[in-house]
Structure 1
Amino acid sequence: MASEITRIYEEVFSKRMTRFEVARVVGARALQLSMGAPPVIDVSSLPVKDPVYIAIKEVLTGLLPMSIRRVRDGRGELVPIGRLLTPSVRRSLEVVLESWDISRRV
């Protein structure tokens, strides 16, 4: 049974970010931006100057030098977030940005 769980983890969860990890990365980066950290993308062309919006855009570019620490087999491993951005995670973040733009126009 334990080997089955390990196999499922390796096939599904080790190759993508969970929604909790996405929220943590976006929240941590938005906090850094709000405290004065320089953005890694050009924000002059963005329609919204909110730190959360900018953080999501930075995550989508995959340029953030952040890693997620995951514990596996009793030892930790650091996984870069750029490697964990799957098309489904990317799509869900883009939907958030689109809804942000729509709500701004109303």
Structure 2
Amino acid sequence: PRSGARFPFFNLPDAALQSPRFIQNGELILTDSVDAAERYAWLVIRRDGLLVGSLPTAVSIDDARGVPDGFIYTTSAYVPGATTLVYVNTRDGLDGGVPVWT
């Protein structure tokens, strides 16, 4: 494809995908998904369309941004009434990450 052109690279027929963002220095895409049974999951997809995997179902992301080795996200699930900043190193695998600030 041409630079700047749009083209589909991933399709999950039984789910709706939303809020994609580049992570891990632009190598991967993190996207929220919901299926027909209203089950939500955060998926990680390679730029060539292969599914890397999903984050643990307990992960609750308010907002996320990519960093060179993965991504950071904010959540209110760690400490009730407070926002926590969490770091996920996707080069080491997919997990809920480690809190770095509350």
TM range (shorter): under 0.3
Larger helix fraction of residues:
1
RCO higher in structure (CA 8 A, sep ≥6):
1
Which has more radius of gyration?
1
Q: TM-score, normalised on structure 2? A: 0.26
